[in-house]
Structure 1
Amino acid sequence: MASSPENTMMSPSVWHPRDVTEAWTFKRLLESDSAYVAGGTLLRTQWESGQATMPKHFIDLSGIPGLSGIEEDDRALTIGALTTLGECRRDARVAERCPMLASAIGSIAAASVRNLATVGGNVVSRVGDSLPALIVCKAEFEWCTGLSAVTEDAFEWAERLQVQLPKASNLLLRIIVPYVKATELVPRRFGAYHKVGRREAFTPSLVTVALGGGMKADGSIADITIAAGGGQTLPHRLHGAEKLLKGQPIGAELLRDVHEAVMNGYKPKSDPFATDAYRKKTAANLVVTELWKSRSASAAAGEEANRDGA
């Protein structure tokens, strides 16, 4: 049976639900006086810095079975929301199937923090550094919304955050990352993730950028997704830059236009550490650099294929 210690003046109550439905019910009953907690690393940072008030009740998710671990089938990787960032970073399947996500997770905090922090906590923070990568990887989020589970595209969820807060009672259960493979029509896939902070490592991000897509044999872009976040910026796609690129071969003139589109489409949230102009230019530089690398790699692969066929 779920239980709670006696309340004290100094410590919040801690509730231990037996399953996700019970956890969701506690949250609905306790509302804004409560918080879901698993690793708690980001929440603790927010409380200590005064960015958020410590609630009267913690709903401890750590004892609920089935919310951690990584599984794979022939379609996708499924990552439980309570899987730690460290587990994701070390898992060979994540590195092989979604290297962009592995790179994003590896850039978050120090190893000791990643061994406590969960991938679900990074997502529901709404500004987690893994989110641009998950958007580009076309991940899906599965939520407990009461008696039923609802699956939502990561991009659609992130877009909705721009206009309204999510229901606090919704509980993230798992993250589904589909495999995207090369095909005869789109023989080359490319992708990259970058995080820029105030120092080289173990630092909050100023800018995070992820991009991924496919390239046809003739070097034109078949599909492309670009997302950016960083700091307290809600991650969002850069539709203007995507539209310019789709169907086009990468060249210097196009990249100049893409650079401008990223500058116009990226909407970073201000803070004392870096100007909006710096963040915009940094994001634009990262995007066009990766696109140029992809063009060069595609050209080199084409030349090798021509030599082999000669």
Structure 2
Amino acid sequence: MAAREYAVSGRTKDSPVIWFPREVEEAWEQKRTRGENASFIAGGTVIQMQREQGVPCPSHLISLENINEMNGIVRMDSYLRIGALNSLEDVRKSHEVQQYFPCLAEAVRNIAAPAVRNRGTIGGNLMYGKGDTVPALLVLDASVSYFYAGSPHTLPVLDFLENKVDGLVTAFWIPYPINENRRSFSFYNKVGRRESFSLSVVNAAGRMELGEDGRVQKAALAAGGGNIPAQCLEEVENRLCGSHLSLETLQELYSLMLDTFTPPSDDFFSAAYKQKTAANLILSQLYSNAERNGGKEKDG
């Protein structure tokens, strides 16, 4: 079925034409045909914000709202599949997300106001490039499916971002914990200028799996926010693995964070401030969980 044009009553020459494709392939062809004169639109929160900032609206908007395959939150074997068109509030309220991936639910809870979460989509949050969900998706080993150049593809979220893929995001895939009985915890935290109603200054997420002896078996840490491309903190993760969450380890991690997390400065905050803030966010969470898990003994 061909894409349907939506003609706005009283439309002026500067108003965009809105198209409503019903399939991913059709949406991609619409964008390929019109190039820079067209943009995909889902919740529309980013385009609305850009218009308020004086950025011209494209002459063609390709609405994705009628593409059923881009919706739904469902368990598929060992993965939770989240359609890119699901609203942020859909993700936050999902029982599966709350039970198995609480750091993602917490990340969404910290995004903007309820009205924005009801309209904004998780796919749009990734494509925005400054989305608060990205660190949580990274530590959860999430992958993203997207349509590009006539065919579907899937990449880890980190590779998708680093390669700056210009594709149509269709879904996210998050692996369920392999051993649900293993001692584990996750967290997400954010520092912003006005709580959740502004871009983050810094946000951070983490996920830990502990062995029977209390040592860290697996660690995943990421930080980003604002104008900071989300970063996986691999050197800090490597230092954690095999260690107890002891005060000695945490003190060492603080110095390592300052050396390896490399955010840019901006008009409001220096790089050094962001480094210290990220280190404090992560280490305060590790310390709190070490208290609950009795893991603050010295490494031996």
Same fold (TM over 0.5): yes
The alpha-carbon deviation at position 65 of structure 1 amounts to 1.8
Higher share in strand: 2
1:129 deviation in Å? 0.3
Deviations 1:153-201 (A, max 9, x none): 11222333xxxx322xx111111111114367xx311110001101233
SS of corresponding position for 1:66: helix
Q: Is this contact kept in 2: 1:226–1:237, CA < 8 A?
A: yes
For 2:52, give the aligned amino acid: E
Q: Which residue of 2 aligns with 1:80?
A: 83
| Structure 1 Cα separation of the partners of residues 53 and 95 of structure 2 | 35
User: Helix, strand or coil for the counterpart of 1:235?
Assistant: strand
The one of 56, 59, 65 equivalent to 2:59 is 56
| Residue 271 (structure 1) shift | 2.4
Question: Quick check: 1:78–1:177 contact (8 Å CA) kept in 2?
Answer: yes
1:3 equivalent in alignment to 2:7: no
* 1:36 Cα offset (Å): 0.5
* Paired position in structure 1 for 2:286: 291
1:181-196 mapped onto 2 (5 Å cutoff):
181-182=178-179, 187-196=182-191
Q: Which of 256, 276, 282 is 2:277 aligned to?
A: 282
Q: Would you say how many aligned residue pairs link Structure 1 and Structure 2?
A: 293
Preserved contact between residue 221 and residue 247 of structure 1 (Cα < 8 Å): yes
Kept after mapping to 1: 8 A contact 2:80/2:174: yes
Measured in 2, the distance between the counterparts of 1:98 and 1:209 equals: 15
Q: Counterpart of 1:305? A: none
Which amino acid is the alignment partner of residue 221 of structure 1?
V
Matched, 1:15 2:19: yes
1:30 equivalent among 34, 37, 41: 34
Q: Secondary structure at the match of 1:82?
A: coil
Unaligned runs of 5+ in 1: 303-310
State the SS of the aligned residue for 1:203: coil
Residue equivalent to 1:250: 245
RMSD between aligned residues: 2.1
| Closer, same or farther: CA 268–47 of 1 in aligned 2, 3 Å | farther
Q: 1:116 maps to what in 2?
A: 119
SS of aligned partner of 2:70: coil
Please give the secondary structure, in 2, of the residue aligned with 1:26.
Answer: helix
Summarize the alignment of residues 1-310 of structure 1 with structure 2, pairs less than 5 Å apart. Answer: 1-4=2-5, 8-50=12-54, 52-160=55-163, 165-167=164-166, 170-182=167-179, 187-299=182-294
- Shift of residue 136 of structure 1? 0.5
Contact 2:144 2:173 in 1 (8 A): yes
**1:182·1:189 contact (CA, 8 Å) conserved in 2?**
no
Residue by residue over 1:55-94, the C-alpha shift from the partner in whole angstroms, topping out at 9 and shown as x without a partner, is 2211111112221121114412111110011111122221
Q: Find the aligned partners of 1:73 and 1:21 in 2 and give their Cα distance.
A: 23
Task: Give the Cα separation in 1 of the matches to 2:82 and 2:264.
Answer: 29
Comparing 227-236 with 258-267, greater Cα deviation is found at 258-267
SS of structure 2 residue aligned to 1:210? strand
- SS of the residue 2:103 aligns to: helix
3-state DSSP of counterpart to 2:196: coil
Q: Which amino acid in structure 1 is aligned with residue 126 of structure 2?
A: V
SS where residue 264 of structure 2 aligns?
A: coil
What do residues 83-131 of structure 1 show as CA deviations (whole Å, max 9, x unaligned)?
Answer: 0111111222211121111000011011111111111100111220001
Cα distance change of structure 1 residues 91 and 182 upon mapping to structure 2, 3 Å threshold:
same
- Aligned-pair distance for 1:133? 0.2
Return 111-120 or 257-266, whichever deviates more: 257-266
What is the CA–CA distance in structure 2 between the aligned matches of 1:273 and 1:290, rounded to whole Å?
25
- State the alpha-carbon separation in 1 of the partners of residues 50 and 240 from structure 2: 39
Change (3 A) 1:183 1:56: closer
Contact 2:14–2:59 (CA under 8 A) maintained in structure 1:
no
| Amino acid aligned to 2:232 | R
Q: Measure how far apart 1:37 and its partner are.
A: 0.2
What SS does the corresponding residue of 1:138 show, helix, strand or coil? coil
* 2:38 alignment partner AA: S
How far, CA to CA, are the matches of 2:262 and 2:56 in structure 1? 27
Give the TM-score normalised by structure 1. 0.88
Counterpart of 1:128 in 2: which secondary structure? Answer: coil
Identical positions, percent: 35
The CA distance in 2 between the partners of 1:159 and 1:211, in whole Å, is 20
Structure 2 residue runs of 5 or longer lacking an equivalent are: none
